[in-house]
Homo-oligomer: A and B are copies of this chain.
Amino acid sequence: MRILIVEDEPTLGQQLKSSLEQNGYAVDLSTDGEDGHFLGSTEEYDAVILDLGLPEIDGLTVLGMWRKEGRNFPVLVLTARDSWSDKVAGLDAGADDYLAKPFQTEELIARLRALIRRASGNASSELVAGNVRLDTRSGRVTLDGEPVKLTAQEYKLLSYLMHHKGKVVSRTELIEHIYDQDFDRDSNTIEVFVTRIRKKLGAHVITTIRGLGYSLDDPDAAPRE
């Protein structure tokens, strides 16, 4: 885990740096807003500790610039000022947490842990097979990055196949998982939807295994010409 500290008081900055390093973090320290902004824009950090009372550029300004640039690392804001209106401004400017000086180092570290945990918490569960991607959280499918519109049944079928990538899935298994309970077993709906999916995503995505069922293979895993 890599942390950036932007803090103009050298004493406090150094003290924080060594505390965090003792806790296993890699720490970069910047003492003014301009330099700090540059580091945050160019390097990759898991979290940033930002002092509001900076010379030259205000901390809030720096934060706003990062957010405009699309930087979305979690930011913990430090300030000597203790009025709640400042807190509100900081939080609304895009800060994720707030700590008023003076503070206990233990508390800072605990909040940092919580921030990083949460930031990594919403990782999107994405299934990938070749040039097809299916995000189960958002329920959306892309082909070579281009979004593809699937109907409800098409999505269900593709989703099941991608969850069982590489495995041969029989028609009855598909019917059992896509439809509820009693459904006319001898109908060719599955074939119909396989056809439709192939039309939208390309024929190669779903392989037919004659007499057994279908299979969805990842070309990367099994390179074949």
**A82–chain B nearest beta-carbon distance, Å:** 11
| Given A91-B110, A107-B88, A209-B152: A118 in contact with B96 (beta carbons within 8 A) | yes
Is A177 positioned at the interface, with any CB of B under 8 Å from its CB? Answer: no
**A222 proximal to B (CB < 8 A):** yes
Q: Which of A149-194 contact B (CB under 8 A)?
A: 149, 151-153, 155, 166-168
**Does A19 touch B at the CB level, under 8 Å?**
no
Number of interface residues of A (CB under 8 A): 59
Asked whether, in the complex, the Cβ of A124 is within 8 Å of the Cβ of B212, the reply is no
Selecting from A21-29, A53-61, A132-140, the interface stretch reads A132-140
A140-B168, A147-B222 given; A122·B124 CB < 8 A: no
A123 interface residue (CB < 8 Å to B): yes
Contacts A118-B118, A138-B167 hold; do A125 and B94 have CB atoms under 8 A apart? Answer: yes
- Given A210-B151, A211-B151, A91 contacting B67 (CB threshold 8 A): no
CB-CB contacts of A211-224 with B at 8 A, as 1s and 0s? 11101000000111
A46 interface residue per 8 A CB criterion = no
| Minimum Cβ distance to chain B for residue A40 (Å) | 12
A43 lies within 8 A of chain B by Cβ = no
In the complex, whether A72 has a CB less than 8 A from a CB of chain B is yes
Provide the bound-state CA to CA distance between A93 and B135, in Å: 12
> Are B91 and A114 in contact, CB atoms less than 8 angstroms apart?
yes
Query: Is there an interface contact between A149 and B210, defined as CB atoms closer than 8 Å?
Result: no
In the complex, which residues 82-131 of chain A have their Cβ closer than 8 Å to any Cβ of chain B? 84-85, 87-88, 91-98, 103-104, 106-107, 110-111, 113-114, 118-125
A residues apposed to B, CB below 8 Å: 67-68, 70-72, 74, 84-85, 87-88, 91-98, 103-104, 106-107, 110-111, 113-114, 118-125, 137-140, 146-149, 151-153, 155, 166-168, 209-213, 215, 222-225
Question: 6 interchain pairs (CB within 8 A)?
Answer: A84-B103, A92-B137, A120-B122, A146-B223, A146-B224, A151-B211
